[in-house]
Structure 1
Amino acid sequence: MPILLPLAAAFFAQAATAKPAVKPPLSPGEIANAAPAAAWRTIPDDDIVVFTLANGRKVIMQLAPSFAPRHVDRMRTLATSKWWDGTSVYRVQDNYVAQWGDVSEKKKLPAGVADTGPAEYVRTGGVPTVRMTRPDSFAAIAGFDPAGWPVASDGKKSWLTHCYGMVGVARDLAPSIGSGSELYTVIGHAPRALDRNIALVGRIIEGIDALSSLERGTGKLGFYGDAQKPTPIVSARLASALSAGDRPRFEYLMPGSPAFAKYLHARENREPPFFAVPAGGADICNVPVPIRRKT
């Protein structure tokens, strides 16, 4: 008993002076999930293309008409004319891109769709309204525009960045700019050297794993070899052309909102307990804009 009393006293004294447990900071995903409804903006149905693969998987793409209006118009024409039906994913290069379209190069394009016109690699103005903290390796400025796109700029012109999941128009050597019928998406480390050299027309917002998990091509540059079978594309439709029950709807966390500012800060400053040494910055391609299905 004489021993227990001092121990008990020490225990209660320690309990009285113990500091309350520190609540860990919210992760970037938790910040996005907690964002109020007012911080989210709906993606127009006419800016969404739904690709259905022969294996039943769906790949959903958001178009970027503010950066490549002519190419996007052509892609809407390709979708409404059902041109992509029966084409295939015929190139999968590891840590680079997955590419799809008409591997035979014989399918006739719809009227108004051609590999002609001025390039849409950059646009005048459009400097990012929300900027990254650290300097960018490929541009004077990098950040996000109000529509939720990752953007780089020299202060006078701006362009989309080749981040994971971004979609570009395949082309031959200049003066070719691509018709918009042959597309690729980034499935590896961001190949930013392609910025301003190819037209970026959108991004995959759902189902990227249906492309990134495909068998790698054994041919040059990841094109499928003779013994390999490309993955057929059953259909490609604008969401606006689908019935209400089949139409997927999406929304993005709006840059400029307080919630996005918190999200960006969290991506640039990963904190303890896991991150003992926060980086204090992030590459623009390490800050994917949160996009979710609209309920």
Structure 2
Amino acid sequence: MIRISLIAALALATAATPALAQRAASPAQAPSLGAPSAQDWRTPNPDDVMVIDTNKGVVFVELSPAIAPTHVERIKTLTRQGFYDGRSFFRVIDVFMAQTGDPLDSGAGGSELPDMTAEFTFRRGASDPFVVVSDSGSSQTGFVGVVPVMTQSPMLMAMTADNKITAWPLFCPGVAGMARGSEENSANSQFFLMRQAYPSLERRYTGFGRVVAGLEVVRALKVGEPVSPPQDVMVRARMLADIPGAVRPTLRVVDTAGPWFAAQVAQMRAEDGADFSACNLKIPSEVK
């Protein structure tokens, strides 16, 4: 069974999507904000960071249990089983995504674990961490950690039984999503890493995290649909917490709730005006 219908999503993209992808592919607009200070950095929970060693370099993906708890747990389980070691990036589309995680390296396989119920959206309450970067009145855009998210207006919270509103991740560059077949509840082991922004995936695929370091590696993977041999591979995938302390990389990421990021938002909103997009905001990281 084909485990992903992303090609159909590609065909269904809106007319505005190519322009957005082109913008995201242009050189990064480096905000003239100076270097982040000590208070701007945070250290991710190592149990929520997937470290992917590829033949092109290392990719660090911070997982988001708040957005897709079931899918995050599946990624952790398969990573710790060694399931992803040696898996190829068998479908890589230039202005779209890089797909992997299939033991058949074809798009037709999965793990022996059961398929999962979709987590296309999640519920956000007033006390849940959320950094607002834009508010249209009817909706808000912001960040849950490093993941860009859109939500209903918080004014609706008082009208819902659980006092929460619906939210969903935006498929910006670096966002990690779960592949699936034509059935919504068919995600299993395959996942993809966004090379560019692709809004047509929103509320149709489960986003479970984001690349915080190594996006240039994802964008350097050999393109093909499918990729003809030789294919780029995940040589090894581990959770950061499982790497022995003596050789464990030290990762820190700019806090989207901090002052440096807030200043970047203000600057980009002033520069971009009506074209402002959360996908164009940068989240610096350091790996040592």
Q: TM-score range by the shorter chain?
A: 0.7 to 0.9
The equivalent position to 1:279 in structure 2, one of 251, 273, 277, is 273
Does residue 1:183 correspond to 2:191, yes or no?
yes
Equivalent in 147, 150, 155 of residue 148 of structure 2: 150
Query: What is the letter of the counterpart of residue 42 of structure 1?
Result: T
- Residues 286, 230 of structure 1: alpha-carbon distance in 2 compared, 3 angstrom cutoff: same
Quote the sequence identity (%). 27
Largest Rg, 1 or 2: 1
**2:35 is matched with which residue?**
33
Pick closer, same or farther for the CA change 1:72–1:237 going to 2, 3 Å.
same
Contact 2:147–2:210 (8 Å) recurs in 1 = no
Q: Partner amino acid for 1:122?
A: T
Partner of 1:212: 219
Where in structure 2 are there 5+ consecutive unaligned residues?
1-28, 154-164
Aligned partner of 1:6 in structure 2 is none
Instruction: Report if aligned partners of 2:56, 2:221 keep a CA contact under 8 Å in 1.
Output: no
- Give the secondary-structure state (helix, strand or coil) at the position aligned to 2:260: helix
Q: After superposition, what is the alpha-carbon deviation per residue over 1:94-152, rounded to whole angstroms, capped at 9, x for unaligned?
A: 21111112215687736xx3213x3211111257743234749xx8221123x343110
Structure 1: which 5+ runs fail to align?
Answer: 1-26, 271-277
Q: What is the rounded CA distance, in whole Å, between the counterparts of 2:206 and 2:34 in structure 1?
A: 29
Q: SS at 2:273's partner residue?
A: coil
CA shift for structure 1 position 63 = 0.8
Give the C-alpha shift of residue 288 in structure 1. Answer: 2.8
CA contact (8 A) 1:170 1:182 kept: yes
Amino acid at match of 1:60: F
In structure 1, the residue matched to 2:15 is: none
Q: So what's the TM-score if we normalise by structure 1?
A: 0.74
Q: By how many angstroms is 1:86 displaced?
A: 2.0
Deviation at 1:235, TM superposition (A): 0.9
What do the CA deviations read for 1:223-282 (whole angstroms, capped 9, x no partner)? 224xx3222322111111111232223233323333322121122224xxxxxxx63761
Give the residue type in structure 2 aligned to 1:144. Answer: F
Amino acid aligned to 1:164 = P
Q: Is the 8 A contact 1:49 1:238 kept in 2?
A: yes
Equivalent residue pairs, number: 245
1:197 aligns to what? 204
In 1: Cα distance, 2:256 partner to 2:221 partner: 33
Give the distance between the partners of 2:79 and 2:201, measured in 1 at CA. Answer: 26
Match of 1:31, SS state, is: coil
Which residue identity lines up with residue 59 of structure 2 in the other structure? V
1:279 match: secondary structure: helix
TM-score of the two chains, using structure 2 as the length reference: 0.76
